[in-house]
Amino acid sequence: MNSDDEDVIDAILEQNAPSNLEEHFIQSIANFEPNKDVFSDSEKVTTPIDSTGKKIFEEAEILFTPWWFPLTRWFGKPKVILASIMILLASSIITIFPDGEIILIGPPQELIDWQEEHEVMTGLDSFVGWDGTGVDVCIVDTGIDLAHPDLSEVTLAGWTDVINQESEPYDDEGHGTSMAGILVADGGLNGIAKGVNLFIAKALASDGSGDDQTVATAVDWCIQQEVDIISMSLGGSAGLRFFGQSTDESENSVQAALDSGIYVIAAAGNDGGPDDDGDVESPGSIQRVICVGGHDRSGEMWEGSSQGDNNGGFFPPRLPNSDPDMKPEITGGGHEVPVLIIPSSDYPDYVWGWSSGTSAATVYVTGALAITLQAAPNLQPNAVDGGPDAILNVKETLMETASDAPESHDDREGYGQLNAAALFQNLTGLDPSVPPTGST
């Protein structure tokens, strides 16, 4: 490499590297103030990822603030879909070849270590050879960008675009790709259930927004595909329910999925702390939906995880929740979760980063359940033991096998932390460390 090439590389590195590594991560939309029709939530993160060698340090901020314009409002609260997350970009390792070409190789070791720590904390590190093969999972989100190198070998089992009716998969926001990567990435990061048959329903637009109809239509499509699990890293204000029907069309679609025996897993929400509105988001608030809060890599509750209201009320009329449907039910990895990042105006490449929010925690539970259904196909919706009773059975087992469980249900911690290995062993009678028959 000649001196001119060296000058180009040095200029690139100088342009992209922050002058102070302690400021490598930046606050997401520090002074953002939502208007009356938009709801947003983010967490300030200041912990840097340190790494050795020459790297391109890229900084970006992504605020995912989907919302609905409601047909009705209760007490002036807008209808929203909140799908967690603030994503801050980590550094990516590069190789400089003799001709001066820069190629991104993969995430820094710190991100890989963080991923392993989350898997240890949730019991997902115990599995050998189990990857969700044969289980159909539908993610309702912003889409998926299969051009990310960690998704290059993924073939979707199904795709629908409720927003723009495009026939080919895409993601013009990034959140959906990040969530899908937690499940099926294969490269720099490794998904927790790479063998699933993945269906993607794009229900949210490029600004993260979607209305009641788009989400309902997406869930209805998942039902038509006869999937086993619907994963919804999103949420909004609950509707009013009368005689089994809700004023919220998407809640009615979710209820239809549950009635058909499909497992629905949804985020608790990210308004924890002093701004908590006192309940988890919908559809996580629906009975039989598995509602997921978030904890960090050491098992401490993530401060942004929403608390549940399990006491019922007169208006809107709602009976108190009881086991195993008290909200949230379980927590998963929800802070500093390694994710895939797609290009944007702030950074031109496919890279890796991390996110904090109950969106990511939702996917951890989705993956754990997919692995369990691989070993227990009798519990799939259309199987002999499947259906609404199977959902109840799984929820009771989640409650009984949770790690770090409080003495009784806690409105923030739920029944405790996901223990994927114990869930698997209790429902299947198998040892998760013994590979399935015929696996290599």
Catalytic residue among 41, 131, 136, 141: 141
Residue 265: other Cβ atoms inside 10 A: 29
Q: Using CA atoms, how far apart are residues 394 and 330, in angstroms rounded to an integer?
A: 12
The residues pairing with 143 across neighbouring beta strands, listed in sequence order, are: 171
Q: Using CA atoms, how far apart are residues 57 and 24, in angstroms rounded to an integer?
A: 8
Q: Using CA atoms, how far apart are residues 283 and 234, in angstroms rounded to an integer?
A: 8
Secondary structure percentages of the chain, helix, strand, coil, to 5 = 25, 20, 55
Contacts of 308 (CB under 8 A, 6+ apart): 268, 279, 280, 285, 291, 321, 326, 327, 328, 411, 412, 414
99 classed as catalytic: no
- Helices 420-428/388-401 angle, 10° precision: 130
Q: Convert 322-357 into a string of H (helix), E (strand) and C (coil).
A: CCCCCCCCEEEECCCEEEEECCCCCCCCCEEEEEEC
The tally of CA atoms less than 13 A away on the side-chain side of residue 34 is: 16
What 3-state class would DSSP assign to 89?
strand
State how far the alpha carbon of 387 is from the alpha carbons of 43, 255, 262, 291, 392, in Å. Answer: 38, 13, 7, 18, 9
Catalytic residue among 359, 403, 409, 411: 359
- 234, two tokens: 């999103």
- 255, two tokens: 């209820």
323 classed as catalytic: no
Q: Using CA atoms, how far apart are residues 386 and 366, in angstroms rounded to an integer?
A: 17
282 classed as catalytic: no
E strand or H helix at 267, and its extent? strand 263-267
**Listed residue (305, 215, 309) closest to 257, CA to CA:** 215
Q: What residues are labeled active site?
A: 141, 175, 359
